[in-house]
Structures are given as structure tokens and as C-alpha cells.
Amino acid sequence: MSPATPTVVAFGDATAAQCDKAARLLQSRTGIILGDHKVGATQRILSTLSSRYADGDAGKFLYLLEENGEHAAWTEFINAFTVNHTAFFREPHHFVRLEEFFRSRPTGCSVWCAASSTGEEPYSIAMVAEEVYGATRAQCSILATDIDTRVLEFAQNGIYPSTRIGDVGDVRLKRHFLRGVESQQGKVRIRPNVQSRVTFAPFNLNERVWSVSGPFDAVFCRNTMIYFDRPTQQRLLEKFARVMRPGSLLFVGHSENISQLTNDFHLLGQTVYQRK
């Protein structure tokens, strides 16, 4: 008895096999793993990008990516799959710990926000830095990186809808933001003294050799490692350890537990780890 011919299920203009290939290419380039529930979203992304770059042919578009790692389409392809859920002072206990850490280092600190998204996280760090170091000569610089170039452009502007500052609090709102008027009504802008502490740059955590060298006193990489497989998580933590000073802090997301992945860090509590 001959085996049954497998059924290829099509999702719009992209087959299931093409969606699977897109997921493999994405993981190879970025480390991001797409779950099965992302097939529909993958089909829509392939439909949009293949119309732009390959006359609507999803197979041709994927071949283009596979054959040319420097093609401009790669940027749009990666941007389309990144998740950018963030907020000012998200997981508030991290910022209480960060303030304590800053105060224990009166000469200043260097911080890396390794998945900065639309900027709320690094600007929250910068506000704490301004509150601790603002009246001193101590330096506290924040490097904010992300693989998604769209969100970096948004973050660099430092302008947000008023609806996104609900967790900031009145005191910080007055101290660190400017309210928009006339055409900018309903928006707020990060004050220049806070904004100037942050440097934004594109960066792929899955790069074999990192261009980021540190050393850093604190690293934020929150709700990012959950999108990687275990070997990628372990490699990432090894690289973080290399660019962090002994005694520095690593802040991870509320659902991320790295204790079984690395011997370079020990848990201080509430998803805050310290470099040994």
C-alpha cells in the first residue's frame, strides 16, 4: 500500500510549507521562535512583503531572503515579527531595586537596555538616573538597543500619547515630561535632560560576535528570552556575563527564570540577578 500524498494547506497566498520556511529563516537570523499559532500572521506578512519585493510570489520572496542576507527586505521581515509590548515603569519593583543600586554607586553607572522597544523602558531607567545623579557630576549613561528599526525611530523622538503615561505618577510626570500644546495637544515629550542620557542603536542579540562591549553595571533584558530556545538563551546569558562587571545586575521578565541556564548569575529576588 503506497503512502497517502500529504495535503499542503494554503493560507492565502502562502502555503504551510512556506510559512514554516519563513519561521526557520527568522529563527536563524534572530533567534526568535514562532509558535504554531503564528501561522496566520506569518501568511499575512508574507503576502504583504512578497507583493512589495517579489511580484506577490511568497516562494520567490523567501528565496530572495535566503540568497541575500544583506537585502533590504530583511529589515522589514524582522520588524514585522517583533513583539513590542512595553510601558513606563513596567514591573515597578525593578525600578525600586535600580534606584537602590544607583545610590550604592555614587560615581555613576553604565546601563544597557537590550530590548528597548518603543523607549518606555530606557526612559524609565533614565528618569531614575536623573533622580539619583541629576544634582551631581556623576555620569549615568544608558545604551538602548533593539532589532526592530521602526520602534527605535519612534523611541528616539521621545514623544508619546498621553494615554501611555498612566503608570508614571504625577511627581515624575511633572519632573520628566513636557505636555504638548496646540498641534501636539494630547501628547507628552521626554525632557531633554532625561532624553540625553539615552543612546539608541539597532542591535541583534543573535549576532555571533557582539559589537556591544560594555562593561555594564546593569542590563535590562526583559520578556525577550522567552522567544528563544534553551541553547540560544544559554548563549545569550554567557555573552551578557562577558560584558557585565562583577556585582552588576541583570533584570529579566516576570515569567523568565534563568537559574537553571547559567552559573554566572545568582538570584537576588523578583527576577533580578547579580553577576558573580
- The residues annotated with a catalytic role in the active site are 44, 146
Q: Are 197 and 176 in contact (CB under 8 A)?
A: no
Q: Which residues of 153-181 are buried (b: 16+ CB within 10 A; e: fewer)?
A: ebbeebebeeeebeebeeebeebbbeebe
Sheet holding 272-275, edge to edge: 198-202, 139-146, 108-113, 216-221, 244-252, 272-275, 265-269
The set of cell numbers assigned to 41 is: 500572521
